[in-house]
A = this chain, B = another copy of it.
């Protein structure tokens, strides 16, 4: 019997999980809060229904494992997370977890023979809204953060993650670092407009961009806008504008690069006063570490140019992640599976961070993207067509089946 994804059940579960943490029409399911408990309980009930062995590790990651008799070795793991941002959509994270569950159900229900255990995991605190850093559950699994340190993290509301996990009943006994998969595959909505814009239904994610965030402060000299000749000015606003425009040009000239100045503040911010200070953030991303470093150097040179002209300039690093190169073999398996099902597929880069980037440190990993309407994410408007959701789960199933053959 051919394994088939139960499309209706997958969609119904997405909507049911999207009702937990909903308050006055708004969906918010922050890590280790009451709404997260409701979502976790629902997920565990479904895993139990599916006959999975449920394990909870010390950082609260939920692992649902199908471990048929006579099958051994490290599991092939699918997953993502079910915590959300504030005022979220219903797909982000949840789709990856529920698709993984659907895949196991389909394989199990069809009597498919597998050569390894298969598991689906919901990682704790991927969003990082309540507890920093984000991608915390997978980071701990990957050994990038001590479990005890992560549990001691104080949230925005003053509670520690450890206490909150105990309170909601999800402080487990397993050692997070015991999860060492044979391979990890994460299915996710794109959170960007590329697939939709190109009319392609599946992305085989072969890289995850490196991210460099900096806060720049430029100090010039405030002065009267009418009486200060141009040659006597040290206009911090103009300096910030030149950097903003130049970064845009640099990113456009380098294939694969993106650069964004998302925040900007002038001081004193008065119509007839030359700005004395401009504070802004720079978000640089590239899938290739050398290129990302090139962009950072270009920015540093631009800032040095301002210093040479008399400005005081400081740059503070806010975040820095190296790019991730996903496993070529899994990426090829994704492409092959998509082609076999006649689903349009392209290789692509993930611009956002995902649990898969942490898992890539400990096992061969890759991701699949399905289109996201308008590229909207972290927003109630987030939407993916059902046929794309199902097609993504089917390709995931084919890939996992191949990985545990």
Contact = CB atoms under 8 A, between A and B. Distances in A.
A237 B351 CA distance: 20
A383 interface: no
A252 interface: yes
Contact of A224 (B226, B237, B269, B375): B375
Contacts of A350: 226-227
Contacts of A209: 226
A155 interface: no
Interface residues on A, range: 35 or more
A318 B271 CA distance: 10
Contacts of A213: 271-272
A278 B262 CA distance: 11
Interface string A74-96: 00000000000000000000000
Contact of A262 (B231, B257, B272, B318): B272
A213 B352 CA distance: 41
Contacts of A144: none
A225 interface: yes
A16 interface: no
A275 to B, nearest CB: 6
A351 B269 contact: no
Interface in A259-314: 259-266, 269-275, 278, 281, 283, 285
A245 B244 CA distance: 10
Interface stretch (A44-52, A186-194, A389-397): A186-194
A377 B226 CA distance: 12
B377 A224 contact: yes
A259 B230 CA distance: 8
A248 interface: yes
Contacts of A281: 271
Nearest to A348: B227
A251 interface: yes
B264 A352 contact: no
A315 to B, nearest CB: 14
A232 interface: yes
B269 A266 contact: no
A260 B238 CA distance: 8
A228 B258 contact: yes
A229 B274 CA distance: 34
A262 B258 contact: no
A145 interface: no
B263 A269 contact: yes
A235 B247 CA distance: 12
B262 A232 contact: no
A241 B230 contact: no
Given A197-B232, A241-B240, A242-B245, A226 B351 contact: yes
Contact of A260 (B191, B194, B248, B274): B274
A264 B262 contact: no
A230 B247 CA distance: 11
B351 A258 contact: no
A192 B224 contact: yes
Among A224, A227, A242, A263, chain B packs the most CB atoms within 10 A around the CB of A227
A225 B190 CA distance: 13
A211 interface: yes
Contacts of A318: 271
A190 B235 CA distance: 20
13 contacts: A190-B227, A192-B227, A193-B232, A225-B285, A226-B285, A227-B351, A230-B259, A241-B261, A260-B273, A262-B270, A264-B269, A264-B278, A271-B281
